[in-house]
Structure 1
Amino acid sequence: MPGDTQQFRSYVEENLDALAQWPQREAVVYGDRRLNAGDLRDLVYRMARALLTQGLGRGSTVTLLSGNLPETLAARYAANLIGCTINHLYNKLSVEVQAAIVADVETAALIVDPRLAERAGELLALTPVPTVLTLGAATLGKDLLELAAQESAEPLAGLARAEDIATIRHTGGTTGHPKGICSTFGQGAAFRNGLQDSEEAEGEEKVERQLVCTTLAHAAGHLADHTLGEGGAVVLLDDFDPAEVLATIERERITRLFVLPPLMYQLLDHPDSKDADTSSLRTLLYGGCLASPARLVDALRRFGPVLFQFYGQNEAGGISTLSAEDHDPERPDRLRSAGKVLDGVEVEIRGEDGRALPVGELGEICVRANGVMQGYWKQPELTAEVLRDGWLHTGDLGHFDEDGYLTVVDRLKDMIIVVGGHVYTSELEDALNSHPQVLQSAVFGVPDADRMEQVHAVVVLAPGATVEEQELRAMVREERGAMYEPARITFADALPLTDVGKPDKKLLRQWVEQAAV
């Protein structure tokens, strides 16, 4: 309806209003560069006008090939402001996968970090793009910053409508064709609304300082939007390095940090952790994959009562949260849970027949909420598989307890079917991680010669550890039963991680299969 279109304001417009409210407040820090809110706001408006001069506008897809630069944030805001769809590539994907994504989403413009110009050239050789823009001087395309400098910084009305696609985010990509998850501008508030639960309801104003140490293409980008929208500052690092993260928390007096659990473990285990001053932290937000209760207890002892879990999916938006108050070292069952379902979100646990299951029974987690994706880009059959009658079938297995806490047990695709039943990988990882000499573990199924899955674990030991494979297998057999005992345990110095910080089980499985050949 015309009236609705006039009233709709995107997240970008809301954030630009917030930047205008505190123009002199520090907004973005990157190395020795410090941008105040007014400068960032001006850059967004200038970039938006520059993009319009290049023929881009509502409905155009803009792909970002960029690291965590201040200009990356500004370019995303500028493109979304004029109604463009954003597709932000993960930088560690192969060039072939990146090129397939760029072509698949019908990219109208590729915006390139100058540091990635060589990769951009390889990508463009596989998939030409009509317009190429760089965030500074480079050997290809036009300099978007130079174009923007010629434009006015006066406010520009947003062109996006609630039903327009704001983002296409891709999952997978390590093997096979990644899935493009389409979210509209109207759905964009779901993640930010969930984050509100981590804020104190009362008290004096506290300006947040968020550290971004994982890619802006993932959840850290959402959280950066939330921080800037409430008048806070965002400190950007190029990548996750535990020593640098600890030093930055101390130097910049960081109050808010988002990491995936494996990265949290790296912070805990780094030699600098013992002496680093992390007292400024008020919220250590984690999510993205299951966390070990034993390691969460370690984190509570090291960082204090600041842990906050956010459970969600790109397909679903926010689903549930486990508050700081619920992180009780004496309640490992509670630490194992994903907390309480967010307001405005409906969750049902469903069996294989599609019927809702009672409290305590294990089934697929199904979600209905405003934040649920519109669908997978150009994959209607796959969309119909996961979106049925308004409910998203998440592919996660879980159950509710009597107090309404949701526990995620495993991904359906990660569950290992063995003779005698099912092995839930997260439960086996929890058991292994509980050993005092184990830092991390990753469990997955590897088919044998008869194509039957065998349970395989890769374990990272603590420095000076003496525990051996047979001892760990015996511990699992005693605590979890013979069905859970791994057929093989491999020791590694570290677990390979994906772009966003999850254990890369696809790569681990490939290594094991290749070693067996």
Structure 2
Amino acid sequence: MIAQGNHIRRPEDSRMDTAAPFRLYVEDILDRLAEDPGREVVVHGERRVTAGEFRSLVHRAARALRELGLGPGRSVTLLAGNLPETLAARYAAHLSGCTVNHLYHKLSADAQAAIVADVETRALIADPRYAGRAAELTDNVPVEHVLTLGPAPLGTDLLALAAGQEDGPVASLARAGDICGIRHTGGTTGHPKGICHTFQQQSDLFGARKPDADAHEYRQLACTTLAHVAGLFADITLRGGGTVVLQDDFEAGAVLEAVEREGITHMFLLPPLLYQLLDHPASATTDLSSLRSLVYGGCAASPARLIDATRRLGPVLSQFYGQSEVGGISMLMPEDHDPARPELLRSAGRIVDGVEVAIRDEEGRDLPPGERGEICVRSRQAMQGYWKQPELTAKVLRDGWIHTGDVGYLDENGYLTVADRLKDMIIVVGGHVYTSELEDLLNSHPDVLQSAVFGVRDADRTEQVHAVVVPRPGAGVDEEALRTLVREARGAMYEPARISFAGSLPLTEAGKPDKNALRRAAEETAGVAA
């Protein structure tokens, strides 16, 4: 790793311009499945799908989509939960060269309809469980083909169409430079913000990965939506020769049961979900010894809770910091999760291979180690742009660098710390309050499980610091004790104008604390117009 001021460049960056023949990631997955057709590869409830069955479904579904005229330049939107058929449909669409958008199924109908229209959907592929919502969407935004993953009271059953197709390998129609996927930010309102990546970029994610020697023992639990990071981990698992265990949604008790029953070795959780897992009454008595890797990320994590997790689970935690616009940025490895070195747990780890990071001020100048500025990233995984939003693209993607909107700094050892989102940073009299730092401090109190800090404007439009705290059950912590903690540790500038208590924090579709919902509730309570 080479450090130049506050600019980190991995040695592997020199390979970024190396040309390689294009091969679609789906082809690699299908080839791996062909090695042992009888092997169990996808589990959902009582269903156990073999490699041969899954591979056949992808090939047949791809042929069915092509008969409908779906191929390069056509957009397919998925409205589907965590089913084996959801993965197969995405692979079939990509094998046919289609652009795929996977809707968060908990978004409002209006937000989903805006996305369906925005990406110029030619085919909506719906989970039968969401048939009512699919009908609502297509009443408002007509699409050429409405397909379902099984019998449903609308559209055409894609699985029935696939069953009538010939089995056997299907040549990929995907073109390296075409848009592979359009991922929209959670909670989209107004004009959707769709992040575009190419087929080449999607396939590059797997290009340098070599399957583990014990790949068949690799069992990944997908308990968050396949429309988000869980989908990527499912791809990695299947390409590596492992098994994906699907759950419809996150429920801590069900996750604990699955880890023990299925011998789960790998999983991904957002920090709030990790906390729920640790706090569940069955956590202490469930056999979690099969876990080899638990990756967490997506939002700030509490060092105090990470120490709890390390003591409970052992050296299996890895933090992943990235953004949909640029992919992976840094990782904090298991050996860095040392309770004796809590300062490392406040960081997001070191920069991953093939990525450049610079910390820059408002004038675009690189800042020295330790100074805070915007985290700017350059990598092969940088988005092509925002779908149909050239002005926003030009603002965020400049000279090949993604301006992440995150505030952070690099230390002398190359560890990256994310202090806040630029939009979440609270400007108060006397300076800036970094919400993640205040959350870490509140979470350090022994009677606090979790907290969320955000800014709320008062009647004079002055921003005030608010905090919502989730206390331990039966704890006696009160507002004054937390105020004292903040004053003594960080000074009066960081002291919240209001601290409220809740049994849990609302989460977004992706599983992050929903600060917009908390802010709206606080504004309503205070009688402040938005």
Could you tell me the TM-score, scaled by structure 1's length?
Answer: 0.96
Contact preservation (8 Å) 1:190, 1:317:
no
For 2:186 and 2:82, the matched residues in 1 are separated by 21
- Compared CA separation, residues 297 and 418, structure 1 to 2 (3 A): same
State whether structure 2 residue 455 is matched by structure 1 residue 445. yes
Pick which of 325-334 and 133-142 moved more: 325-334
AA in 2 matched with 1:360: G
> In the alignment, which of 436, 441, 447 is matched to residue 446 of structure 2?
436
- Compared CA separation, residues 505 and 191, structure 1 to 2 (3 A): farther
AA in 1 matched with 2:234: A
For 1:326 and 1:24, the matched residues in 2 are separated by 39
- Compared CA separation, residues 468 and 174, structure 1 to 2 (3 A): farther
Is the partner of 2:508 in helix, strand or coil? coil
Map of 2:296 onto structure 1: 286
AA in 1 matched with 2:187: G
Aligned residues: 510
AA in 2 matched with 1:376: Y
Map of 1:50 onto structure 2: 64
- Compared CA separation, residues 492 and 174, structure 1 to 2 (3 A): farther
Offset of residue 193 of structure 1: 6.6
AA in 2 matched with 1:28: V
Contact preservation (8 Å) 2:215, 2:240:
no
State whether structure 2 residue 251 is matched by structure 1 residue 241. yes
Q: How does 1:81-120 map to 2 (within 5 A)?
A: 81-120=95-134
- Compared CA separation, residues 211 and 18, structure 1 to 2 (3 A): same
State whether structure 2 residue 192 is matched by structure 1 residue 182. no
Q: After superposition, give the CA deviation of every residue in 1:103-130 in whole Å (9 maximum; x if it has no partner).
A: 0000000000000001111111211111
For 2:410 and 2:19, the matched residues in 1 are separated by 40
Contact preservation (8 Å) 1:172, 1:179:
no
Contact preservation (8 Å) 2:187, 2:508:
no
Contact preservation (8 Å) 2:369, 2:409:
yes
AA in 2 matched with 1:39: E
For 2:96 and 2:161, the matched residues in 1 are separated by 16
For 1:219 and 1:296, the matched residues in 2 are separated by 20
For 1:461 and 1:190, the matched residues in 2 are separated by 44
Contact preservation (8 Å) 2:186, 2:508:
no
Map of 1:500 onto structure 2: 510
Map of 1:269 onto structure 2: 279
Q: After superposition, give the CA deviation of every residue in 1:205-255 in whole Å (9 maximum; x if it has no partner).
A: 562100000000000100100000000000000000000000000000000
Is the partner of 1:17 in helix, strand or coil? helix
Offset of residue 92 of structure 1: 0.9
For 2:194 and 2:495, the matched residues in 1 are separated by 37
Pick which of 249-258 and 176-185 moved more: 176-185
State whether structure 2 residue 138 is matched by structure 1 residue 128. no
Contact preservation (8 Å) 1:212, 1:234:
yes
Map of 2:400 onto structure 1: 390
For 1:74 and 1:448, the matched residues in 2 are separated by 50
Contact preservation (8 Å) 2:216, 2:243:
no
Map of 2:349 onto structure 1: 339
> In the alignment, which of 473, 481, 490 is matched to residue 471 of structure 1?
481
Pick which of 118-127 and 130-139 moved more: 118-127
Is the partner of 2:282 in helix, strand or coil? helix
Map of 1:215 onto structure 2: 225
For 1:424 and 1:225, the matched residues in 2 are separated by 35
Is the partner of 1:14 in helix, strand or coil? helix
Q: For structure 2, which runs of at least 5 residues remain unmatched after alignment?
A: 1-17
Map of 2:329 onto structure 1: 319
Map of 1:75 onto structure 2: 89
Identity of aligned residues (%): 67
Offset of residue 516 of structure 1: 2.0
For 1:163 and 1:412, the matched residues in 2 are separated by 32
State whether structure 2 residue 237 is matched by structure 1 residue 227. yes
Offset of residue 176 of structure 1: 3.8
For 2:110 and 2:301, the matched residues in 1 are separated by 32
Map of 2:76 onto structure 1: 62
Contact preservation (8 Å) 1:316, 1:371:
yes
Offset of residue 286 of structure 1: 0.5
Map of 1:157 onto structure 2: 171
For 2:168 and 2:458, the matched residues in 1 are separated by 64
AA in 1 matched with 2:361: G
- Compared CA separation, residues 151 and 44, structure 1 to 2 (3 A): same
For 1:327 and 1:290, the matched residues in 2 are separated by 15
- Compared CA separation, residues 413 and 6, structure 1 to 2 (3 A): closer
Contact preservation (8 Å) 1:170, 1:179:
yes
Is the partner of 1:346 in helix, strand or coil? strand
> In the alignment, which of 2, 8, 19 is matched to residue 33 of structure 2?
19
Offset of residue 162 of structure 1: 1.1
AA in 2 matched with 1:211: L
State whether structure 2 residue 437 is matched by structure 1 residue 423. no
Offset of residue 175 of structure 1: 4.1
Q: After superposition, give the CA deviation of every residue in 1:336-370 in whole Å (9 maximum; x if it has no partner).
A: 11111111111111111101111111111111110
AA in 2 matched with 1:107: T
For 1:377 and 1:168, the matched residues in 2 are separated by 7
Q: How does 1:360-375 map to 2 (within 5 A)?
A: 360-375=370-385
For 1:185 and 1:489, the matched residues in 2 are separated by 47
For 2:186 and 2:332, the matched residues in 1 are separated by 26
For 2:391 and 2:171, the matched residues in 1 are separated by 37
Contact preservation (8 Å) 1:300, 1:306:
yes
Offset of residue 173 of structure 1: 2.6
For 1:189 and 1:60, the matched residues in 2 are separated by 19
Contact preservation (8 Å) 1:191, 1:317:
no
Offset of residue 388 of structure 1: 0.5
Map of 1:167 onto structure 2: 181
Q: For structure 1, which runs of at least 5 residues remain unmatched after alignment?
A: none
Q: After superposition, give the CA deviation of every residue in 1:155-208 in whole Å (9 maximum; x if it has no partner).
A: 0110111101110000143544331000111111455479x59x97xx755621
Is the partner of 2:440 in helix, strand or coil? helix
For 2:50 and 2:452, the matched residues in 1 are separated by 42
Is the partner of 2:173 in helix, strand or coil? coil
AA in 2 matched with 1:46: R
Is the partner of 1:43 in helix, strand or coil? helix
Is the partner of 1:383 in helix, strand or coil? helix
AA in 2 matched with 1:103: A
For 2:67 and 2:371, the matched residues in 1 are separated by 57
- Compared CA separation, residues 394 and 190, structure 1 to 2 (3 A): farther
- Compared CA separation, residues 61 and 175, structure 1 to 2 (3 A): closer
State whether structure 2 residue 491 is matched by structure 1 residue 481. yes
State whether structure 2 residue 23 is matched by structure 1 residue 9. yes
Map of 2:13 onto structure 1: none
Contact preservation (8 Å) 2:76, 2:123:
yes
For 1:150 and 1:204, the matched residues in 2 are separated by 36
